[in-house]
Amino acid sequence: MKYRNVELYYQQALDDVGTKIIDLRTTDPISAIRLQFFGTNGSTSCKDNRLNDVITKIELVDGSDQLLSLTLKEAQALEFRRTGKMPYMRPGEKASGGQEESCLLLFGRKLWDPEYYMDLTKFRNPQLKITTNIAAVAAASATAFLAGSLKVTIDLLIIQEGAEAAKGFMMAKNIYGFTSGTSGDEHIDMPMDYPYVGLMVRAFTAGNDVNENISKLKLNCDAGKFIPVDKYVKDLWKQEEQDLGPAELRYNIFRAHDATVTHDLNHDPVVSVIPISAGLIANIGWSWSSRFYLSLLTHAGANQTDAVELGLIVKGACPHSTIHLPFGMRDLPATYFDPKVYGDIDLVLTQAAASAVAVVLEQLRPYGAAA
């Protein structure tokens, strides 16, 4: 096989608020699309405000037909489940500094899959859409993102030679969202069209582990005729960490003593902080639920009251407060979960605390199938 990495756009400007629409016209097989996002901090800092907060939706559409629809957080979390690695992410907080984050939109079982890939010739008007809101966390200012600084680089990972006749592609979409309560079950009618490859649930509240928001997940087919999963969420993330190991991320933060710092790995985070300047001692007071307490002292034992740049490495589970349930073996489509053999499929999420919940479904969609 021969491959090409085609740079479609380099640091193309994105609106502070709006949707960028990019027409896709290539006739070559696309194994994946890599998106790399850039932003610039304000003149003072940009704390706890990241590109995955302001890139609010990524879509691949053909008219009204959604072929992919995810937030950047969802795309990054799904990439970890597909590849076993977090995407390239370098959030930074210092004055006028740059931030970079990426995601890989994978259309095959793996990168360079010769059978499953995106064949745009099967569609009439394929377009990539990127929706932004620079004020999602804080309005553009000296202490947030700099107005007009959002950009994207778009790479098409193309199979030049060796692709077989296309059988289909992996379709990932956010299919449902709600605000959870402190008790009760949320029942979600699941799609009945294409085989399920994976199910991901995001349940976010600041200061909570994902299983403290949604405590249990159940998939109920034909009123109990078949129940492929009925598990506590805390057991699902433990099983995933055993299978994939911990995720790892790196940041550059800009903090003083006595700070609570957030990051993107929700469960059991292990944090290392490295002062970039000499003469400082960094200590972690506590670390859980995507945040930690930072103590920063001088060698003389005094509190460091002025913010300085620090390197941060985090290892943990449940990126972006998500859990993931795979169906079958990824390399063997015959093992995926086929919903068509049932009359009704009900996803039941047991609520435990107020949180923003999103359900993402990855399916194997064959070509020629109706939208």
- The pTM (predicted TM-score) of the whole model is 0.96
Q: Are residues 301 and 353 in the same domain?
A: yes
Q: Which residue type is seen at 63?
A: G
Per-residue model confidence as pLDDT tens digits over 188-201: 999 999 999 999 99
CA pair distance 348, 256, nearest whole angstrom: 44
pLDDT, tens digit, for every residue of 124-174? Answer: 999 999 999 999 999 999 999 999 999 999 999 999 999 999 999 999 999
My answer on whether 240 and 268 are in the same domain is yes
pLDDT attached to residue 83: 96
Domain identity same for 204 and 89 = no
pLDDT band at 1 (very low <50, low <70, confident <90, very high): confident
Looking at residue 164, its pLDDT comes to 94
In sequence order, what are the residues at sequence separation of 6 or more whose Cβ sits closer than 8 angstroms to the Cβ of residue 248? 86, 313, 314, 315
- 346 and 235 part of one domain: yes
Confidence of residue 369 (pLDDT cuts 50, 70, 90): low
Say whether both 120 and 252 belong to one domain. Answer: no
Kindly tell me if the per-residue pLDDT of 371 is higher than 80.
no
Please give the Cα distance from 217 to 196 (Å, whole number): 16
* One domain for residues 247 and 147: no
The residue-averaged pLDDT of 201-212 equals 97
284, burial (CB in 10 Å: exposed 0-12, middle 13-18, buried 19+): middle
Boundary-marking domain end, from 136, 166, 196 = 166
Identity of residue 349: L
Q: Are 187 and 151 contained in the same domain?
A: no
Q: Which of 148, 166, 184 is the last residue of a domain?
A: 166
SS3 of residue 330 by DSSP: coil
Local structure of residue 122 (DSSP, 8 states): G
- Rounded distance, CA 94 to CA 329, Å? 43
What's the mean pLDDT when you consider all of the chain? 96
State which of 147, 166, 185 marks the end of a domain: 166
Based on the domain organization, do 301 and 234 belong to the same domain? yes
Rg of the Cα atoms in the chain: 21
**pLDDT at residue 114, as a whole number:** 97
Q: Is residue 90's pLDDT more than 80?
A: yes
| Tally of structural domains, the chain | 2
As given in the structure block, the two tokens for residue 111 are 């990168």
Closest among 262, 337, 351 to 52, alpha carbons compared: 262
- Two tokens, residue 178: 């709600």
Task: With a cut of 70, say whether residue 45 has pLDDT above it.
Answer: yes
pLDDT (tens digit, 9 = 90+) per residue, 315-342?
999 999 999 999 999 999 999 999 999 9
Domain region containing 70: 2-166
**Percentage with pLDDT > 90 across the chain:** 98
Tens digit of pLDDT for each residue in 248-265?
999 999 999 999 999 999
Q: What number is the average pLDDT over the span 278-299? A: 96
Residue type, 48: D
CA angle at residue 74 from 68 to 23, to 5 degrees? 35
Within 8 A by CB and 6+ apart from 360, the residues are 70, 74, 78, 172, 173, 174, 175, 199, 200, 201, 202
Would you state the pLDDT for residue 153?
Answer: 98
> Are 7 and 46 members of one domain?
yes
CATH at residue 24 = 2.70.9.10
Report the SS3 class of residue 242: helix
Interval 346-355 mean pLDDT: 98
SS3 290: coil
Angle, CA of 365, 80 and 333, to the nearest 5°: 30
pLDDT at 370: 57
299 and 316 co-located in one domain: yes
The CA distance from 166 to 333, in Å, is 14
Question: Which pLDDT score, from 0 to 100, does residue 135 have?
Answer: 97
Query: Do 22 and 8 touch, CB atoms closer than 8 A?
Result: yes
- The structure tokens listed for 239 are 């099983």
Domain shared by 227 and 159, yes or no: no
Are 360 and 74 spatial neighbours (Cβ–Cβ below 8 Å)? Answer: yes
pLDDT at 368: 79
